[in-house]
Structure 1
Amino acid sequence: MISTQFLLTALVVVLAPGTGVIYTLAIGLGQGRKAAIWAAFGCTIGIFPALVAASLGLAAVLHTSALLFHLVKFAGVAYLLYLAWQALRDGGALSLGSGTTTQTGWKICKRAALINILNPKLSIFFLALLPPFLSGTPAQAPTEMAILGGIFMVMTFFVFMIYGLFAAQTRRFLLGSDTAVKWMRRSFAAVFVLLAGKLATERA
């Protein structure tokens, strides 16, 4: 069940830059190491509902219900656009520079979790990713999916934490230039807009 193939597949998926990675990088640059760790933790927690949905078969319901899928999808799109605005707004939660609003760890965590919770493709992704690595015994499937999903979540946390800590480490150097700050803010906002557009075009 826990094979080298699964571990490598999971690692490739986790390493691939996505919305959670971009959020963690932005938080690390804007608010430092502790905030980056909270962001990584929140992105990891946000995976749990999708994993439960996949284990219970709710992902299949989401896949077949166009209305439900689109409701969750467009809530996710709206949230990504909100994050883009936060990146551009002076003193916003994702802005960079001395005027950045300092947030509590739990608030950072909650924002990060919502990124994955409001992505309907994540539960469908688990429904496609995990079954090939199961033993094939129906009675053991929920337990095995929970174990594999748990490993995926642990990998997500540590990889995202490394991303965030790297961003925090370069914070002082990058934020020393007003021009660099301006372009990074615009870049983060643009990426969130692009990700929102990509999610908007996804189909169940």
Structure 2
Amino acid sequence: MIDPATLMTYIAIVFGFVFIPGPATILTVARATSSGTRVGIATGAGIAAGDVLHTFIAIVGLSAIISTSALLFSVIKYTGAAYLVYLGIRAIFEKAPSDLTRGALPITTGRAFRQAVLAEVLNPKTALFFLAFLPQFVHPENGSVAIQLSVLGIVFVFLGLLSTIVFAVSAGGLGNFLRRNPAVLKWQGKLVGTIYCALGIRLALQER
């Protein structure tokens, strides 16, 4: 089992990391602002689910393959980037509903969750982060390496979900105001789409 001192150090580092705005935060805020708090939280939950898969991949050693295979890394990276750009273009050209105040949201929570899971799973940087970061806090003399990695991964997923919920709740309140303004409603889809496209291009241009 992980010793308390190591675990507390890990929690402090991860806590600071997840509350620094990054791609996951931007995606969550964009969804919450355009579609409401529940959709923002669903997006955060989808990202967390993707991180659970990355934890599993790290445990079974598949992340090591990604880190050593330039071809596999490139395939995953460009697939993820293309998916984000696809979401962005779709949001830019999608017609905004005429009245969001009657409960018709641009995207359902289920759809937001599924898109966030896929976007996070297809981000190779996340896989490499788990591969490079988690093992630094694993000590074989403390017991099963798999159990230690699982605990570290669960802590990361929980704190990441907590941060996205905080951002989603804050952005959702802002979104409620924005959706009552027709001019903003007309352009918010284009803004959200631009954010998605920018994230996709950013991912495509990242070096290993």
Instruction: Judge same fold: TM > 0.5, yes or no.
Output: yes
Between 1:4-13 and 1:150-159, the stretch displaced more is 4-13
Q: What is the SS of the residue equivalent to 1:3?
A: helix
Q: Which residue of 2 aligns with 1:63?
A: 67
Amino acid at match of 1:50: H
Which has the larger displacement, 157-166 or 133-142? 133-142
- Corresponding residue of 2:152: 148
Which residues in structure 2 correspond to 1:27-176 (within 5 Å)?
27-91=31-95, 98=99, 101-137=105-141, 140-176=144-180
Q: Is the 8 A contact 1:28 1:168 kept in 2?
A: yes
Within the alignment, does 1:21 sit opposite 2:25 as a pair?
Answer: yes
1:139-158 CA-to-partner distances (Å, cap 9, x unmatched) read 52111010010011111111
Identity %: 26
CA contact (8 A) 2:77 2:124 kept: yes
- Over residues 60-110 of structure 1, what are the superposed CA-to-partner deviations in whole Å (9 max), with x where a residue is unaligned? 11111111111111110111101211331233xxx6874675444322211
Deviation at 1:3, TM superposition (A): 2.9
Which whole-Å deviations, capped at 9, do the CAs of 1:93-139 have from their partners, x for residues lacking one? xx687467544432221111111100011111011111111224385
Contact 1:30 1:97 (C-alpha < 8 Å) held by counterparts: no
In angstroms, what is the RMSD of aligned CA positions? 2.4
- The one-letter amino acid paired with 2:18 is V
- CA–CA distance in structure 1, aligned partners of residues 136 and 197 of structure 2: 33
CA contact (8 A) 2:36 2:176 kept: no
In structure 2, the gaps of 5 or more residues are none
The two structures have a TM-score, normalised by structure 2, of: 0.84
Q: Distance in 2 between matches of 1:155 and 1:78?
A: 28
Shift of 1:30: 2.2
1:88·1:189 contact (CA, 8 Å) conserved in 2?
yes
One-letter amino acid matched to 2:176: R
Q: Do the aligned residues in 2 keep the contact of 1:29 with 1:96 (CA within 8 Å)?
A: no
The answer on 1:190 being equivalent to 2:194 is yes
Aligned length in residues:
201
Q: TM-score, normalised by structure 1?
A: 0.86
Question: Structure 1 residues 193 and 90, CA, compared in 2 at 3 Å: closer, same or farther?
Answer: closer
Change (3 A) 1:42 1:149: same
Q: Distance in 1 between matches of 2:125 and 2:33?
A: 28
Amino acid at match of 1:142: A
Contact 2:91 2:190 in 1 (8 A): yes
Q: Is the 8 A contact 2:18 2:160 kept in 1?
A: yes
